[in-house]
Amino acid sequence: MNDFLQHLRERKLVQWALAYAAAAFALLQGIDIVAAKFGWPESIERALIIVLCVGLFVTLVLAWYHGERGAQKISGTELLLLALLLAIGGGFLWKFAANVPASSVAASPSAVAAPAQASKTDTASAAPAPMSVDHKSIAVLPFENLSDEKANAYFASGMQDMILTKLAAIAELKVISRTSTEKYASHPDNLKLIAQQLGVGTILEGSVQKAGDQVLINVQLIDAGSDKHLWAEAYPRTLDNVFGVEGEVAQKIADALAARLSAAESASVASLPTRNAGAYDRFLKAEYKEQEAADTWRQDTFLAAEADYRAAIALDPGFALAYAQLAFCQMRRHWFATPLTNAELGEVKASIDHALALAPDLPQAHLALGYHHYWGFRRYDDAIAEFERTLKMAPSNTDALAGLAYIARRKNQWQQAVTYMDKALLLSPRDGDLRGEYGATLVCMRRYREAVKELKLALELAPANANAKDWLRVAYLFGFGDVHGAREAYSPPPDWRIAANNIFGGDAMTLINPLVSVEMFERRYADALKGWDAAPTSTEEERRTARVARVAIHLIANDGTVAPAECKQLATLLSEQLQQQPDSLELLQQSNWVNLCLGDKTAALADARKAAALLPITKDAYNGGSSVLVGLAQVAAQAGAADESLKVIEQLLSLSAGGVMSIERLKLDPVWDPLRKDSRFEALIKAGGDNAGGRAHQ
């Protein structure tokens, strides 16, 4: 054995091994760059790795024979040992090569890394971890608008959407959502990287050229691994016969991927939404505006989209898809922008009923009905039934999966919500809104560290996602007491969204507004008031909210400077509006603070209790019910009802209500200052300890 070790030193095998490893590593790095540029299949790189590993054994054998001073003698025992090592190493390599799948290593949806950039012109704008690839999977990239008139972008976007809608109805296909493909270029350089990011085996590229009533649609289906064209076709059409192109394309894709269609799926793919050219054109314009409204929550954009849907219906009263999408757009406006009246909700239901009468198996109609139940009336079980029905007809519909996740949260089924979101993220891995909701769910579950990671990723995917910014701010403040992190989360700040933020009135920070909440935590009350000086209060509702928010800031600051006359005027105004809308959570919350200003603590508590009864935790365990309940605790604290306030605080701490209640919030939020001298409050904070388990930046 000593002789063997001596031979090792003489022949410098360690030096040879290190030199070889360094050279092999450099070679692999270069090959990886070249492979990425030319889209080489992964099998080439795997084969090269195996060859280099075998080459290491060969190099060591040669080093042993030749050593440092030329040819060396080798004993039979040494030769036997080397042969044995070579055989064992070769066996391990063979086993490894046989077990490595042709596709990339699978990663969970929540492990998708952030994009390096989000530019639509950047063909490699993200670098997520590779996902498992199913051969029968496809991503439809944004269609290029080749029209001379850039205003025709809506038509190219609409054709992409219509093809996606048809593909989503095919059960054997995994179809990536539009929200995960919309930021890619129309014809990117590196399809292999994009396919890895999205977890698909094929990619559809397309272009649309529209001039007058002439339309030319070009599409090509590409195997992302080999960069080979599986199928391509051009569709020269006029506006009068462009209908059905999306169905033809979907059928050709299914054939190319050997996806078997049921009779119902074949009928769905072949069906025509309308035969009226004008109706089809207005419908595509409406879809384009609705997408913009969904991103901005702007009421005027929602209304513009609704006007185009109605114009399409007027041109073709049998246009079932237009009825369904109009209803969905209205429900989205109701939930995110301005609530509909009961009469308007009835009109929405009539549109859905008409769509279902025209097309009983239309997935979009069942989806709209599900959200009508959910967003309109919180009829969760009815909504679940419609979302499940939608998924039977369109298995890749992420809106239905997301709806199931959101309802699970409100029903206090948090792990079920996470499961549904994981499924949705497989179909929409680059959806900033969906990933933001994933982070919000983790905040509520008080998994703040994970939430920060997900919310940051959501903002890298969608930098303008104001909702994700709101939740990231909450994660820093309530999870870690990290005011600096919360301020960074709001840089640059989103729009004020005054009306939208107050739909679920309750939490004082919602009334005061997220944009000045950091100043409140730092007790910079003058700066919080100054922030409202720049608030865009263009409606009577917004001006009233601004006035009440100022009252609340003064009361929390306990500076004694709020004018009684101002509160009396607000009380009269709110009383009149509450007579018209007695169950408005927003109006009840504002009435609470005005009554506190007037010293009417009994009335303030009565309104807060009424709000809590209107939307209890049992009806909404997510942000709505918990927000109203924390509002009751805050009003009780300000009104001197410490027993009631502490009871509600303890209840919220026992629930998945991390978005409104945490030990860190109790420590820092000035709204709880009236309780700080209460020994029970101090004991509650001490018993809770540091629920963050460390700072968010670590």
pTM: 0.76
Amino acid at 546: A
SS (H, E, C) 137-182: EEEECCCEECCCCHHHHHHHHHHHHHHHHHHCCCCCCEECCHHHCC
- Whether 182 has a pLDDT exceeding 80, the answer reads yes
**Cβ contacts of 602 within 8 Å, gap of 6 or more:** none
Residue 476, both tokens: 């820093």
Average pLDDT over residues 89-111: 44
Average pLDDT over residues 630-634: 97
What pLDDT is recorded for position 99? 44
- Whether 5 has a pLDDT exceeding 90, the answer reads no
Residue 268, both tokens: 């769905």
Average pLDDT over residues 238-255: 90
- Whether 415 has a pLDDT exceeding 60, the answer reads yes
- Whether 414 has a pLDDT exceeding 60, the answer reads yes
Confidence of residue 4 (pLDDT cuts 50, 70, 90): low
What pLDDT is recorded for position 61? 65
- Whether 461 has a pLDDT exceeding 70, the answer reads yes
As a whole number of angstroms, the distance between CA 401 and CA 554 comes to 44
Query: What phi and psi values does residue 235 have, to the nearest 5 degrees?
Result: -125, 90
- Whether 168 has a pLDDT exceeding 50, the answer reads yes
Question: Helices (DSSP H) in 497-619: which residue ranges?
Answer: 498-501, 508-512, 517-521, 525-533, 540-557, 564-580, 585-597, 601-614
Amino acid at 377: F
User: Could you write out the DSSP letters of every residue in 314-336?
Assistant: HH-TT-HHHHHHHHHHHHHHHHH
- Whether 646 has a pLDDT exceeding 90, the answer reads yes
Average pLDDT over residues 213-236: 90
As a whole number of angstroms, the distance between CA 358 and CA 204 comes to 31
Reported as a single tens digit per residue, the pLDDT across 32-91 is 555 544 445 555 656 667 777 767 766 666 665 665 444 445 555 555 555 555 565 555
Domain over 473-688 is classified CATH 1.25.40: yes
* Of 121 and 415, the one with more pLDDT: 415
Range 337-347 burial, b when 16+ CB lie within 10 A, else e: bbbbeeeebee
Reported as a single tens digit per residue, the pLDDT across 250-285 is 999 999 999 999 999 999 999 999 999 999 999 999
What pLDDT is recorded for position 149? 79
What pLDDT is recorded for position 239? 86
Q: How many CB atoms lie within 10 A of CB 267?
A: 12
As a whole number of angstroms, the distance between CA 380 and CA 411 comes to 8
Q: Which of 71, 76, 56 is nearest to 14 (CA)?
A: 56
Portions of the chain given CATH number 1.25.40.10: 279-419
For 118-272, give the CATH class.
alpha beta
- Whether 370 has a pLDDT exceeding 90, the answer reads yes
What pLDDT is recorded for position 6? 60
The CATH homologous superfamily for domain 279-419 is Tetratricopeptide repeat domain (1.25.40.10)
Q: Distance of CA 92 to CAs 20, 85, 88, 630, 682, Å?
A: 20, 11, 6, 60, 62
What pLDDT is recorded for position 122? 35
With contact defined as beta carbons under 8 Å apart, do 333 and 293 qualify? yes
As a whole number of angstroms, the distance between CA 594 and CA 554 comes to 11
Q: What stretch of H or E contains 675?
A: none
What pLDDT is recorded for position 116? 33
The percent of residues in the chain predicted with pLDDT above 70, rounded, is 80
What pLDDT is recorded for position 108? 43
Q: Which residue has the tokens 């649609």?
A: 217
Please state the length of the chain. Answer: 698
| 3-state DSSP assignment of residue 223 | strand
Pairing mode, if any, of strands 228-238 and 214-223?
antiparallel
- Whether 198 has a pLDDT exceeding 70, the answer reads yes
Reported as a single tens digit per residue, the pLDDT across 420-429 is 999 999 999 9
- Whether 597 has a pLDDT exceeding 60, the answer reads yes
Amino acid at 194: I
Portions of the chain given CATH number 3.40.50.10610: 118-272
Q: How much is the mean pLDDT over the chain? A: 85
What pLDDT is recorded for position 66? 60
Q: Distance of CA 421 to CAs 120, 300, 428, 434, 556, Å?
A: 26, 30, 10, 8, 38
Instruction: Read off the DSSP letter of residue 338.
Output: S
Confidence of residue 13 (pLDDT cuts 50, 70, 90): low
Amino acid at 492: P
Average pLDDT over residues 10-34: 62
Q: Which of 45-49, 92-96, 357-361 has the highest mean pLDDT?
A: 357-361
Q: Distance of CA 653 to CAs 450, 481, 613, Å?
A: 19, 16, 19
Q: Distance of CA 55 to CAs 9, 86, 523, Å?
A: 21, 11, 67
What pLDDT is recorded for position 242? 87
Q: Which residue has the tokens 């502490």?
A: 646
Reported as a single tens digit per residue, the pLDDT across 485-497 is 999 999 999 888 8
Average pLDDT over residues 463-479: 94
**Cβ contacts of 323 within 8 Å, gap of 6 or more:** 313, 351, 352, 354, 355, 358, 365
- Whether 410 has a pLDDT exceeding 80, the answer reads yes
